[in-house]
Amino acid sequence: MTGMQVLAIDAGQTGMKVRVEGADVVFRGIDTHEPLLPQLADVVHGAIARTGSTPDIVTAGISGLTDRDADAALLLSLVRDTGVRAASLAHDSTTSFLGALGDARGAVVAAGTGVVTLAVGQDAVSRVDGWGYIMGDAGSGYWIGREALDAVMRAYDGRGPRTALTDPVRALWPDLPFAYIDLQAAEDRVRIVASFAAEVARLAAEGDPVAQSISDRAARELAHSVSASLNNVRRHDDERFTVCAIGGVFRSPRLHDAFAAELTRDRYDVTLVAPLGEGIDGALALADLSPQHPLSSAVHRAVA
């Protein structure tokens, strides 16, 4: 696709970033209660209108993309009037990997409200977790927030140690015994729970033992997912891998340091590195992804 103009989309639930002709524009995030592809088509039309561009291909990394929604041909039909002639769609774990590590072999763990780990080996790909807040997402912002709320209520009952986490929870729900009722009734309860991850990070840095314990356990979960993903793609005992940790959860110094220590404690084969770029860079890279690359099979393509 070299030489073609690319309109790349990094589509998340909190916002959608579009890059075209070197410029970035931002749109509201995916509404998970509405069909996905018409929303992407609206973003393509909006980005073209705002930038005056004439893209040849649309590429997108999409949070939570399923095979059911990954109909690149349908997206093309929805943007036929723009002159776009090709489309490539992928789960955002794929574009997060390409943005962070490029063509390197290794693993990227992306931990925000949820978490997913993707490993790429010589000839195999392994996705670990990313199974949502009910069935998985171990070590994610939601997981951390849920552990914080559990710790606060244990302290309230006398089943656990006192913790400074009680204060920010009381700030939202002054009457703690009724907090669970308000939370269960809230439409944005996942976001509310995950928001306490920032308080855990802050109070862990200030020395609260409970917040530190939660951070350390989250780090172990995240490191375990990385190790599992790399084991799934390993072909030789002497293989070495590059690992990149991205997402808001890793802004916690306590958690990041504990993750690095846990990951490398018993492993000689990993090197933890900073990301080369972001998810939008990975979405852009879809346009030139080689058919021989292990991740190519995870990309849904269509040509008009």
What is the pTM for the complete model shown?
Answer: 0.87
One-letter-per-residue 3-state SS of 61-118: EECCCCCCCCCHHHHHHHCHHHCCCEEEEEEHHHHHHHHHHCCCCEEEEEECCCEEEE
Residue 17 belongs to domain spanning: 6-92+279-303
pLDDT at 67: 86
Question: Do 75 and 195 belong together in one domain?
Answer: no
In a shared domain, residues 68 and 114: no
Same domain? For 115 and 237 the reply is yes
- 246 in the Ramachandran plot: left (φ > 0), alpha (ψ -120 to 50) or beta? beta
Supply the pLDDT for residue 274: 95
SS3 content of the chain, % helix, strand, coil (to 5): 50, 20, 30
Q: For 225-247, write each residue's pLDDT tens digit.
A: 999 999 999 999 889 999 999 99
59 and 184 within one domain: no
Spans of the chain, pLDDT less than 70: 1-2
Where does residue 281 rank: exposed (0-12), middle (13-18), buried (19+ CB within 10 A)? buried
- In this structure, is residue 97 part of a structural domain? no
Distance, CA of 124 to CA of 133 (rounded, Å): 27
- The total number of structural domains in the chain stands at 2
CA 215 from centre of chain: 18
Q: Which two tokens stand for residue 271?
A: 């090197």
Same domain, 126 and 256: yes
State whether residue 161 is helix, strand or coil. Answer: coil
Task: Give the H or E element holding residue 206.
Answer: none
pLDDT of residue 2: 55
Tell me what pLDDT residue 63 has: 86
Query: 92-123 pLDDT, tens per residue?
Result: 999 999 999 998 899 999 999 889 999 999 99
Structure tokens at 293: 């690359």
CA distance 93 to 134: 19
